[in-house]
Structure 1
């Protein structure tokens, strides 16, 4: 409903692009890192840290990435669009939509477990995105050191790491700071979902090509089926399987557009993939959850 509200508020001019731009920065650099950090501080890390779930999510994402790279030769004729297609088809909006879905289904426990999985997958996403865009959009050699330095500067990673350190080292945090952190964290999901709704542009979808449609199908249908099936075959608990499904079925992350634009790629294709996947995910996630619940898998 918050996404729909964002669409309505933008339509009536109550919020505009300036609001979206500033709110996105606030969420990405401040409130979301604080939310994740606060979750880590309060979490029994030994309980929620599950190497099997993390390994399965990471390896299955890598498998999907390889398959997408191969299918790019079939669906994408323009060599410079291959990386845009691949990134749009595997890089999900974990930090906003993924966490929101997990909170709705599992509450505070969902944030804790999802945050651990998200932190690792964020690293995997960044590495694979930089690799596929660098190899298809530039003639430069991949600079591994520079890539790792950029990843360590990611506010989300910083928030999670600081939260884990405070937790494991038993560093005392003043109640006033904890309360302030809670207030900031509570801004995250409603503000981020409003921004997603406000950025939806249905007019941009009219000129979408086959490549965008293929990427959306891969992102919202093929990828969740592969990753959830691997989790089921691995014997995951209902909650772990549910989190794995929700994380893998999120629409394409807005960060994919930013990276493509920065590297002078096909930004129109990247934007169309984001818009189409965001709209379609409202249906595909609901259907996926209904199917999993009907078989008592989650």
Structure 2
């Protein structure tokens, strides 16, 4: 019951963000500032606190690395097959990438930090790191391929290299691996900032949505949702069972890969010829649907 109430509270915050946007309280400028606070402050603080006191060998394994890649590429292949016959390339490209591109940063790590222990959070932070290095290039490549648009590889590499969350992960891993002491006052301050990560992220996600109900394609959105919040977690469960990873790694991997579609896919769609309204709707629907799927997974994982 506690887990269900927590997930419903998260859904409530998401809807609050959408409502504040609708009534004009969270306009574009305020949403941008909230997003910056989450992206540059709260999320990096959370990732650093989760990793600064652990050696990388204690949280990352070859099985984890291989498993995440297999699940991402496997789900992308399933999505390509499911959506291959859509006549609109703009909609087809979005449907494919939103079926596997998970919200592992804004929702994944904060949700795990609020639900599981520190080691699971540390593993989730590592998944965020190398998972992003797979998801982002794959998403850009698919959008470019299907829509015939172009992007500068150098810009995408620079965006990844300067990502504050990934930088915080790298710094935390280096400090943890070399046993560099961190003053307690700093940790307490970062802990306080880290606690803001999930509520800020949910408000930003809700305020970023641009829904156009008359333009809804129930079958297309339903297909994306089923692949993302049902097929992908099942595949993750099977892959990591076969890899025989430890329970903390299993929990972190399955929950992270069960996250709803990332809001960043909406941004990528706008930049690279995708259907933006379709993308926005899918983010909303997969996020709402994930409340039920995550409840089931968390209950099964204890």
TM-score in same-fold range (> 0.5): yes
- 2:233 corresponds, among 224, 230, 244, to 224
**Deviation of 1:35 (Å):** 1.6
Contact 1:101–1:246, Cα closer than 8 Å, also in 2? no
Runs of 4 or more above 6 Å deviation = none
**Deviation of 1:10 (Å):** 5.7
Alignment partner, residue 25 of structure 1: 36
- 1:52 corresponds, among 45, 48, 63, to 63
TM-score scaled by length of structure 2: 0.85
How many Å separate the matches in 2 of 1:228 and 1:103? 20
- Do the aligned partners of residues 274 and 6 (structure 1) sit closer, same or farther apart at CA in structure 2, a change above 3 Å counting? closer
Residue by residue over 1:181-226, the C-alpha shift from the partner in whole angstroms, topping out at 9 and shown as x without a partner, is 222222212222233345567x634532122221111101111111
How many Å separate the matches in 2 of 1:230 and 1:183? 36
- 1:148 corresponds, among 149, 157, 180, to 157
**Deviation of 1:272 (Å):** 0.9
- Do the aligned partners of residues 14 and 263 (structure 1) sit closer, same or farther apart at CA in structure 2, a change above 3 Å counting? closer
Alignment partner, residue 62 of structure 1: 73
How many Å separate the matches in 2 of 1:236 and 1:215? 29
How many Å separate the matches in 2 of 1:152 and 1:111? 22
> How many equivalent pairs are there?
290
Do structure 1's residue 158 and structure 2's residue 154 form an aligned pair?
Answer: no
Do structure 1's residue 286 and structure 2's residue 300 form an aligned pair?
Answer: no
- Do the aligned partners of residues 71 and 33 (structure 1) sit closer, same or farther apart at CA in structure 2, a change above 3 Å counting? same
Alignment partner, residue 196 of structure 1: 205
**Deviation of 1:41 (Å):** 0.9
How many Å separate the matches in 2 of 1:238 and 1:170? 25
Do structure 1's residue 208 and structure 2's residue 216 form an aligned pair?
Answer: yes
**Deviation of 1:8 (Å):** 4.2
- Do the aligned partners of residues 6 and 63 (structure 1) sit closer, same or farther apart at CA in structure 2, a change above 3 Å counting? closer
Alignment partner, residue 92 of structure 2: 82
How many Å separate the matches in 2 of 1:42 and 1:205? 47
Cα RMSD between the aligned structures? 2.5
Contact 1:2–1:194, Cα closer than 8 Å, also in 2? no
Contact 2:80–2:96, Cα closer than 8 Å, also in 1? yes
Contact 2:18–2:203, Cα closer than 8 Å, also in 1? no
Do structure 1's residue 3 and structure 2's residue 14 form an aligned pair?
Answer: no
Alignment of 1:124-139 (within 5 A): 124-139=134-149
How many Å separate the matches in 2 of 1:177 and 1:105? 23
How many Å separate the matches in 1 of 2:16 and 2:171? 37
Alignment partner, residue 93 of structure 1: 103
TM-score scaled by length of structure 1: 0.86
SS of residue in 2 equivalent to 1:98: helix
